[in-house]
């Protein structure tokens, strides 16, 4: 769903509710783990982590550093839930161009922070951790763009809720193409980071002093607020054209971490970034779903 693994949590919550209510399930209920199980759907919190960690290790950046980077990519969903540019989405009422500019600005800033840290020479533990934070946060954003394409929260909630309750295959975070895109964009960004290390004459082993951090999922209150926003969707597909924005966002991150700046401007000279083949207008109606109601009771 939006930026978290809500569906697995809903499954567990439903089982707990039914079991404790004395309703026959027709099968045994497994003990509930301390953390919800994870599905194989791409671009949930743990998939952000897995994609990030795999690319980081493939480029030889070390176990400690890669563990920290993937935790930071995971934690964007908790730490920056309401910062929609972090998830390649517009704020309420924000135009596609303004939203895309906000994403570009975010990636430029994080890339510039990486550039400044590397330019300072061999990093100490504090600098290594800041590198991991900036890289993880930026990777989460380029990965989310692969799935969200600038769709609003209400549009996302509409398709995600329908996917859970009515018709599978509609959740944008579960699209196979989004998974492949996320892997490709992550590989490019991490390779650029590794090359920037070499340019700065910093051995990757210097990153081994990175400290570990825990991971946190979004709160139930935030998840439910998101889920309920489906009824604000006007039915129009207002995504941006990822054939344009994908390259611009990639350049914003890669150019800025290499040079500290990026000249490309999304929507330059009034260019449109509207999606070329939008989905048909959706007839928005209540996707009745008892499981979601149970999960969000009291929230």
Which is more confident, 199 or 171?
Answer: 199
CA distances from 166 to 220, 253, 282 (A): 22, 38, 14
Q: Identify which of 43, 41, 45, 292 has the alpha carbon closest to the alpha carbon of residue 185.
A: 43
Mean pLDDT of the chain: 85
Question: Is the per-residue pLDDT at 107 higher than 80?
Answer: yes
pLDDT tier for residue 29 given thresholds of 50, 70 and 90: very low
Question: What predicted TM-score, i.e. pTM, was given to this entire model?
Answer: 0.86
Average pLDDT over residues 255-270: 91
- Give the pLDDT score at 42: 34
pLDDT top residue among 166 and 194: 194
What does the alpha-carbon distance between residue 83 and residue 291 come to, in Å, rounded to a whole number?
27
Q: Which of 15-29, 45-59, 140-154, 212-226 has the lowest mean pLDDT?
A: 15-29
pLDDT number for residue 43: 58
On the question of pLDDT at 238 being above 90, the answer is yes
Name the residue ranges covered by the structural domains of the chain.
Answer: 6-12+40-295
Q: At what angle do helices 176-199 and 242-259 cross, to 10 degrees?
A: 20
């Amino acid at each position: 769903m939006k930026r978290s693994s809500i569906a697995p949590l809903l499954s567990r919550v439903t089982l707990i509710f039914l079991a404790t209510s004395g309703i026959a399930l027709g099968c045994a209920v497994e003990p509930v783990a301390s953390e919800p199980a994870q599905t194989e759907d791409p671009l949930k919190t743990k998939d952000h982590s897995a994609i990030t960690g795999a690319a980081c290790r493939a480029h030889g950046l070390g176990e400690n550093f890669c563990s920290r980077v993937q935790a930071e990519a995971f934690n964007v969903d908790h730490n920056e839930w309401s910062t929609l540019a972090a998830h390649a989405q517009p704020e309420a009422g924000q135009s596609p161009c303004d939203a895309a500019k906000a994403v570009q600005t975010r990636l430029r800033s994080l890339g510039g922070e990486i550039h400044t840290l590397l330019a300072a020479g061999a990093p100490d533990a504090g600098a290594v951790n800041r590198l991991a934070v900036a890289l993880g946060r930026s990777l989460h954003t380029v990965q989310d763009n692969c799935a969200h394409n600038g769709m609003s929260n209400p549009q996302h909630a509409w398709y995600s809720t329908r996917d859970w309750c009515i018709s599978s295959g509609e959740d944008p975070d579960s699209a196979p193409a989004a998974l492949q895109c996320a892997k490709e964009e992550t590989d490019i960004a991490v390779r650029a980071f590794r090359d920037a290390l070499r340019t700065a004459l910093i051995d990757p082993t210097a990153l081994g002093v990175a400290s570990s951090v825990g991971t946190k999922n979004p709160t139930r209150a935030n998840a439910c607020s998101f889920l309920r926003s489906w009824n604000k969707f006007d039915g129009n597909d207002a995504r941006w054209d990822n054939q344009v924005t994908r390259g611009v966002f990639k350049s914003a991150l890669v150019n800025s971490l290499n040079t500290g700046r990026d000249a490309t401007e999304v929507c330059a000279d009034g260019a449109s970034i509207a999606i070329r083949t939008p989905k048909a207008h959706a007839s928005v109606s209540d996707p009745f779903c008892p499981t979601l109601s149970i999960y969000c009771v009291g929230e």
